[in-house]
Every structure is written in C-alpha cells, then in structure tokens.
Amino acid sequence: MRKQLRLSGSGGQGVITAAIIFAEAAVKEGKEAVQSQSYGPEARGGASKSEVIIDDAPIYHPHVQQPDLVLALTQKAAEKYYGDLHEDGILVLDEDLVPEPPKFKNTIRIPITKLAVEQVGKSLFANIVALGALVRITGLVDFETIKSSVAKRVPPHTVEKNMQALQVGWDAAGKAVK
C-alpha cells in the first residue's frame, strides 16, 4: 500500500534529515522508498519541504501527489503545504509554531519544539521529536528500526540525546491521539 508523507518547515529545522531517516528505516524493513526535497537558495530560513513515498511496489513518479500525512513546523509551511492533503489524511502541527491551525478534520497538535527544548535540551532536536511522533502516528515503520536509523545518521556523541528525543516524540504522540 502506497503511503505519502510531506514534512515541512523552514530551512534549518531539520525536516529533510527527518525525511531521509524515515525513508532509510522503511528501506531497512524491506520496503520501497523514495525521498525528495525542495528548498530555496538560502541555507537557513527559507521554506523547506521534504517528501517520502513508501510502497511495496516500485515507485516511478518521485513526488507526492496527495499526501496521507503533512507535518508542519511553521505557520507558513502549514498554510502552504496542507492544501492537497487526502480527506482522510492527518495534519500534524507544532502546537506553538503554528498558532493558527488550518481548519482540517484530523489535526494533531504537539508542542514539538517546546518539548525538544524542555525535555531534550535544545530546539535542534525538534526534528527527531517530530520523527518519534510520526512513527507512532503512522505505524509505517517499527520504533526499533527508526532508533537504529537515527543512531546511524547522527553524530556519535549525540546518539543518546537523539534516542531521548525519539522517545519524547513517541510519548507525546501517544498522549495527543488519545
């Protein structure tokens, strides 16, 4: 079954890295996966979007056509990227950075960046907190698989903090969808 995810925010929030790790975990579980991205010329601050398609069959057209899930870490990204979301899809928002959530049926609001700062120590971990939440919400890959994919991608001295970030995201998603 094809699943299409779009992760969005502003440059520097790490949505591209999160998407790569998600796709890597899917490949590790034997699935087909493609990941693409679009961003402006600036290194920080411009709109940033990354897409992941996961399927059992080969994937040709590489971009998401109708997302099953959109993650937005800024107000601007939420407004720009949720429009074509499938009507049964899920919109996941950073509760504080998207103060005016678009009106969408299945919206999950999680204080992603706030949790990263308060529970992991830095806003830098927001993307991994988000990743932990997405794994729980979608159920597309195993939590253990995502842990090993994160551990492989991040600098060795940050593995422990990143594992903590994953767990914080996982727990927060559990609370939010209850």
Applying CB under 8 A, the residues found at the interface with other proteins are 20, 23-24, 27, 30-41, 59-63, 65
Question: How many other CB atoms are there within 10 angstroms of residue 67's CB atom?
Answer: 25
CA dihedral 148, 151, 152, 158 (to 10 degrees): 180
From residue 125, alpha-carbon distances to 62, 74, 85, 129, 132 in Å are 28, 15, 26, 6, 11
The CA distance from 102 to 93, in Å, is 10
Which CB, 46 or 174, lies closer to other proteins? 46
The CA distance from 40 to 108, in Å, is 28
Q: How far is the CB of 35 from other proteins (least distance, A)?
A: 4
Which CB, 22 or 172, lies closer to other proteins? 22
Which CB, 38 or 148, lies closer to other proteins? 38
Q: How far is the CB of 90 from other proteins (least distance, A)?
A: 23
Q: How far is the CB of 61 from other proteins (least distance, A)?
A: 4
Which CB, 52 or 108, lies closer to other proteins? 52
Q: How far is the CB of 96 from other proteins (least distance, A)?
A: 29
